[in-house]
Amino acid sequence: MDLTYTPEQQTFRKEARAWLEANVPAEPLPSFDTEIGFAAHCEWEKTLNAGGFAMVPWPKQYGGRGSDLLEWLIFEEEYYRAGAPGRVNQNGIFLLGPTIMEYGTPEQKARFLPRMASSEEVWAQGWSEPNAGSDMANIQATAIRDGDDYVINGQKTWASRGAYAHWLFGMFRTDPESSRHHGLTFILVPLDAEGITVRPIEKINGKKAFAEVFFDDARVSAEHKLGEEGQGWNVAMATAGFERGLMLRSPARFQNTARKLIDLYRETVERGGFVDSTLRDTVARCWMDAEAYALNTYQTVSRMLGGGKIGAEASLNKIFWSELDIRMHEAALSLLDARAELLPDSPAADAVGDWLEGYIFALAGPIYAGTNEIQRNIIAERILGLPRK
């Protein structure tokens, strides 16, 4: 593997860095899990799109710049380096976008991708149901064909960004006689359609981070099915591969946290705070693991550029980044000592940053995108070849 950047990649990095330095908001935006923060993030993503940086690997006609995935990794490194806002439309651009690219009709690509790139339309992922979380094949929500429409009934839950999003992608049972992963279809649903009720769910910090979505005879055009009817499971597995294996958590995110952790370690040493050799080793280990994750991702991308696909190894990846994120935040809280319990806006917070909020969110990492127990099952069966029982 050649780890040097080409002159073109270096030029791209410079261009991205200059644009971000000139355009990233000076002050952090309010959380995208609030109404005002959601609007501010959509506005930022519009600016990003106008600058040509919304989703660099997409073809130009859909709002990208036709870069390859290596340039996307470079862009992500620059994005985190610049302290740019989190992507409110991450479910759209990182998960659904690549899936539409693979399974969508030309009309669907033209209809959905540009508006996704500009975040004119923000997406929620509607997979989980009250009785279908880890056991996703137990989906009960139905979409029954009636003329040119599907008539949808049932409930989805835990839809991140669902409180404010415009569209939802999900799997629905189009064959009511079917069971498990058969008879499911991947459908794109406008959340303002009649018969749809969105009820926000608050996170531990009081922000409306999720929604449950109820469908009562909601009619959705059959043109909005993605892939073949009854083949939803295969389409969804492609989305899950992008989510766990590559796009949802680019290495730059963790390298950035690791850099902040090193800075915090140095500050703690300088002010005479408590640091023992175990903590020092933990901090060094976190930094090395973030670098290892980055190198592993470069390897995955090189394989994909050579025509490879993301397979069951995406599960290894997901366990690695989610556990690393917790370890990094735990180390930071240990360094902060008693100040660890302060939120950034507390009067005595000084420079505690958002470590506590970050820690609380990191704890969700082993749950979302498929729990780590389920990932371990996948690794056991599909990579190690162990028996199911």
Ligand X SMILES: Cc1cc2nc3c(=O)[nH]c(=O)nc-3n(C[C@H](O)[C@H](O)[C@H](O)COP(=O)(O)OP(=O)(O)OC[C@H]3O[C@@H](n4cnc5c(N)ncnc54)[C@H](O)[C@@H]3O)c2cc1C
| Residue ranges in contact with ligand X by CB under 6 A | 125-128, 133-134, 158-160, 364, 367-368, 370-371, 373-374, 377
142 touches 232 (CB < 8 A): no
- Name the residue whose CB lies closest to ligand X: 133
The tokens of 106 are what?
A: 């030309």
Token pair 């990794």 in the structure block, residue: 73
**End-to-end distance of the chain based on CA atoms, in angstroms?**
39
Active site residue 77: no
**Using CA atoms, how far apart are residues 293 and 80, in angstroms rounded to an integer?**
16
Residue 189 has phi, psi (to 5 degrees) of: -125, 125
How many CA atoms lie within 13 Å of 95's alpha carbon, on the beta-carbon side?
27
Show Cβ contacts of residue 198 under 8 Å, excluding neighbours closer than 6 positions.
162, 163, 191, 211, 212, 213, 214
What is the three-class DSSP state of 366? coil
188 touches 121 (CB < 8 A): no
Catalytic residue among 45, 77, 212, 243: 243
Minimum CB separation of residue 205 from ligand X in Å reads 12
Minimum CB separation of residue 128 from ligand X in Å reads 4
* DSSP-assigned states of every residue in 44-69: HHHHHHHTT-SSTTS-GGGTS----H
CA dihedral 45, 50, 51, 53 (to 10 degrees): 50
122 touches 133 (CB < 8 A): no
Helix (H) or strand (E) holding 196: strand 196-201
Minimum CB separation of residue 141 from ligand X in Å reads 11
Which residue, among 88, 93, 40, has the nearest Cα to 64 in the 3D structure? 93
Catalytic sites, residue numbers: 243
